Amino acid sequence: MQVLACLNGEIMPVEEAKVSVWDRGFLFGDSVYEVFRMYQGRCWLEVEHLARLKRSLGELDFAPHDLSRMMERAHETIRASGIKEGTLYVQITRGVAPRSHPFPHPPVPPTEVIIVRPYDDGPTARLRERGVPMISHPDLRWKRCDIKSTNLLANVLAIETARRAGAYEAVLIDAHGFVTEATHTSLLWVREGRLEGTPEGHEILPGMTRQLVLRLSGSLDIPFAGAHVTLNELKAADELILVATTTEVVPVIELDGAPIGTGTPGPIALRLHRAYEAAVQDWLADLARARPAAAPVLGG
């Protein structure tokens, strides 16, 4: 088992992957990315992640990218790594050109980076059992959070503030006093038996795990409604729930030092994670029956 990178189509140990100092991803954050969770060597929600990646590329006016070929290289890298339980990271930058703010003219080839590494769910599984604390933090991000770009400095500063405070995550509060999302997870909450979350728009990332959890909530007869809430309203919720690609479904038991609900993982969070685990197992069983069919990919 080895952590591998595939840089512009060439597979190598991750330590050997080198990107030019003139790469616009390095200089300007002029790049987009996706993270896939791997179970048994297969990428979970692959089509959905690729659709979001394609949208991000389009929103930033990137040239069309062959995502089918990229995923062929990704699958080759996964097989070469020998990693079964892990993450697949893909990043596409606008390419290498002398530093200048406008797009390169004529256009230059993009830089494509693929990284496969193991992921140990054990620590997160223990957090799911006991729940996690959060803090609140001003949302200082740019105004197109629906694009999964590598412009993450505001996220980094907020999560570092949370870690220094002994918290697992930070919920972000916009200039009008409303909740948006967390630094690297989607945030949902429960009030009066109803699951809620900030409506999709430019303020939040359209999370793949969030969308799956909302589908699962429907199958469990848990109603969902989009809602804009203040920090005080959030603190009064019965449950807070974090959902994300790697961490799946994690209950929040404390916000800014005050308990949420009973101060223990809530029943809806637990039901949703059981349904999430069942969805993964059903998918893996379907894959096992369908082999050796190739995993689906989306064209660029």
Structure tokens at 166: 């002994």
Q: Which of 54, 143, 148, 235 is catalytic?
A: 148
Phi, psi (rounded to 5 degrees) for 101: -60, -45
Does residue 54 have an active-site annotation? no
Q: What whole-number distance in Å separates Cα of residue 103 and Cα of residue 30?
A: 10
Provide the 3-class DSSP secondary structure of residue 60: coil
Largest Cα–Cα separation, the chain: 60
DSSP string, 1-47: ---EEEETTEEEEGGG----TTBHHHHH--EEEEEEEEETTEETTHH
Residue 114 to residues 5, 65, 70, 161, 239, Cα–Cα distance (Å): 5, 14, 9, 29, 37
Structure tokens at 244: 């994300």
The answer to whether the CB of 117 falls within 8 A of the CB of 48 is no
Provide the 3-class DSSP secondary structure of residue 241: strand
The answer to whether the CB of 230 falls within 8 A of the CB of 177 is yes
Provide the 3-class DSSP secondary structure of residue 283: helix
The answer to whether the CB of 87 falls within 8 A of the CB of 117 is yes
Q: CB-based burial of residue 231 (10 Å sphere; 0-12 exposed, 13-18 middle, 19+ buried)?
A: middle
Provide the 3-class DSSP secondary structure of residue 192: coil
Q: Please list the active-site residues.
A: 148
